[in-house]
Amino acid sequence: MQLEQAGDLLSFTQSRMTQTVAEFESKYASRQVPAAEEAARPGDGAAVPLGDVFAELEFDRYDDFNLLARRVGEISSDLTEIQLQLNGLVRVVRDDAGSVQRLSGELRGHVTRARLVPIGRLFARFARQVREGARSAGKTVVLEVRGETVEMDTAIVQQMVGPLLHLVRNAINHGIETEEERRRLGKSSHATIHLGAAHTGGSIYLEVVDDGRGIDIEAVAEAALRAGFITPESLARLGEREVLDLIFLPGLTTAPAVTAEAGRGVGMDVVRTNVSRLGGEIEVQTAMGRGTRFRIKLPLTIAISDVLKVRVGSEVLAVPVSAVRSMVQVSPDEIRSVGGVETVEVEGQDVDLVWLDRLLGLGSRLPGALVSIVVLRTGRKLLAAAVDELLAREEIVVKGLGPFLQGFGPFSGASVVGDGGVMLLLDPLSLLEMSAVAALEPEPAIESGGRHALAGPTSDDRPCVLLVDDSVSVRKFVGGMLERAGFRVAAARDGADALEQLAELPVSVVVTDLEMPRVNGYELIRDLSREPATRDLPIVVLTTRAGAKHVSLARELGVEHYVAKPVDEASFVQLIGSLAGTAPARVA
């Protein structure tokens, strides 16, 4: 603290003055002895001062030098006294600071407890949903609830309604068998869904368990292969748990047909994203013929978060401590490149490495003999993030980014720091998605956002499709589909980004989502129809919103092609080819 630094400086100054006085007195005394002897000899009849009749050791004499030395000595003594008083004040301030810290902790605890509500309020909403869902599906389902008294942050409760509701509906529509099928299998004719909550340490655990047919892992693997998410070689290296995690990929579905309740392949990826943005994790366990369990781990509160501060370029960012596996420093020689992806060995396994300064565009990394790395947990996968400096652990008050910045970069929140600046909180799962897309570059077909590398002059005569979607995963998946069909792909993160790129990039077809930050899909379509240069540009809406109201508004704005997710690759690329005036490459 500054008071302690001032005390140290005062002590150092007092020590220097004491040393100077001692040296001065020593030198002065050695010069005064001969002078005194000379003055003791009478001469020329001059009057001799009364004091001079005494020898040097018999009587003290005081001239200007003596007075100066005495005054400096007194000042040194005063400084010593001030130093003692200052040390006492430092002890008092330190004690007061400790008291303030304890009071702050108590206040923080009171605020946290004030935000807590019983999870039973959330579970109470599902009784009706289960009854209606079961009746609609022609099944008999009983809802059992436990842990209703467990308390959670009210903000988490509100944001977990959608994810839990999706898991419950999934259990009814996909997991639970019909009464006839259950009787044939020797099960009770009525199925059971368990909703549970438990508080362990600083975390809340939620469970959604059904006693249905379980998840067919082979069907999941086949669906992932069919959709192009994974190659047979990569699939052969995955264990059952890794294959099961593929259900969280966007667009993946094992349903045989698309209905209002199932088959679109949307939902599970949204569940994981929402849980991750709350600083939580989700895992799934299943047994064929016995049922499925989804287990969600969440922080007790999102108002106050324990974070690790890191420096990247000129920015200080926060990383949730709950997501930090370890922190290491490695030499550049320990970083290896495997298949074009940089990796570093952590605890005996190769972990993908991402340079945050490059990924976030924050300037060059500070030079140094060692590279500081934060190893992050992103579900069951580890990710090594290289930073410029590891700073300190700290508790911060986290604020949401709001609707305009939600989904902006790999960030889940922000905190106002002491100097009035803003420190952004990294979301490990979004960071993993961004790094996965960045790994497809350096000659990118699709970028994670921002301008496309092909914005300038190019000799590539392939038709260019502008893909507009705020989801990194969708841009990667659909963009890869179009690339395989022989199209050149430019990617935009929202309508505003798309309008900027269209000013420079010749485009044959625009494929756009509807729900996006800044400029949404409807606004983009309207703006394009108003400009003479883009009025006749073919537009395809690609969205999960397949309701009549959404389709009607798009038709009113002049859109002729409206495609609901998930996409049938063959028909989709055929449509794009017809609009671009070219025949797409054959899709395997």
Q: Any bridge partners for residue 540, and if so which?
A: 511, 561
**What is the arithmetic mean of pLDDT over 182-197?**
92
CA 61 from centroid of its chain's CA atoms:
78
Whole-number pLDDT of residue 2: 59
pLDDT value at position 366? Answer: 56
Q: What is the pLDDT of residues 209-268, one digit of tens each?
A: 999 999 999 988 888 888 777 888 888 888 888 888 888 887 777 655 444 444 334 468
Q: pLDDT at position 437, please?
A: 46
* Contact in structure between 540 and 574 (CB atoms under 8 Å): no
pLDDT in tens, 412-468: 788 887 777 889 888 887 787 776 644 444 333 333 333 333 333 344 578 899 999
Tokens, residue 583: 């025949």
Q: Alpha-carbon distance 362 to 312, whole Å? A: 7
CATH architecture assigned to 441-580: 3-Layer(aba) Sandwich (3.40)
Q: Which residue has the tokens 């045989």?
A: 256
Alpha-carbon torsion (514, 437, 284, 258), positive or negative: positive
HSE, side-chain direction, 13 A CA sphere, residue 369: 0
Nearest to 517 by CA among 411, 375, 406, 387: 406
pLDDT number for residue 100: 80
Alpha-carbon dihedral sign for residues 245, 251, 254, 258: positive
Q: Is the pLDDT of residue 333 over 80?
A: yes
CA–CA distance, 433 with 272 (Å, rounded to integer): 12
Among 47-56, 140-149, 164-173, 375-384, name the one with the lowest average pLDDT.
47-56
Q: Topology of 117-299 in CATH?
A: Heat Shock Protein 90 (3.30.565)
Contact indicator for 175, 130 with CB cutoff of 8 Å: no
Q: What is the pLDDT of residue 387?
A: 92
State the greatest distance between any 2 C-alpha atoms of the chain, in Å, as a whole number: 142
CB 198 within 8 A of CB 150: yes
Res 338 pLDDT > 70: no
The domain at 304-434 falls in which architecture? Beta Barrel (2.40)
The three-class DSSP label of residue 30 is helix
Asked if residues 466 and 502 have their Cβ atoms less than 8 Å apart, the reply is yes
More confident residue, 319 or 113: 319
Per-residue HEC secondary structure of 167-233 comes to HHHHHHHHHCCCHHHHHHCCCCCCEEEEEEEEEECCEEEEEEEECCCCCCHHHHHHHHHHHCCCCHH
For 427, list phi and psi in degrees, rounded to 5: -105, 110
Identify whether the C-beta of residue 460 lies closer than 8 Å to the C-beta of residue 454.
Answer: yes
- Omega of the bond leading into 532 within 30 degrees of 0 (cis): no
Q: Give the integer Cα–Cα distance in Å for 185 and 548.
A: 40
Evaluate the CA torsion angle 549, 553, 556, 560 in order and state its sign: negative
Predicted pLDDT at 293: 94
Which run of H or of E encompasses 128? helix 126-137
Left, alpha or beta for 187 (phi > 0: left; psi -120 to 50: alpha)? beta
The whole-chain average pLDDT of the chain stands at 78
Contacts by residues 74-83 (CB-CB < 8 Å, ≥ 24 positions apart): 75/17, 76/14, 76/17, 76/18, 76/21, 79/10, 79/13, 79/14, 79/17, 80/14, 82/10, 83/7, 83/10, 83/11, 83/14
pLDDT digits (tens, 9 = 90+) for 76-87: 777 777 778 788
Question: Using only C-alpha atoms, what is the Rg of the chain?
Answer: 36
Distance CA 252, CA 28 (A): 94
The per-residue pLDDT for 65 is 65
pTM: 0.50
Parse the chain into domains and list their residue ranges.
Answer: 2-111, 117-299, 304-434, 441-580
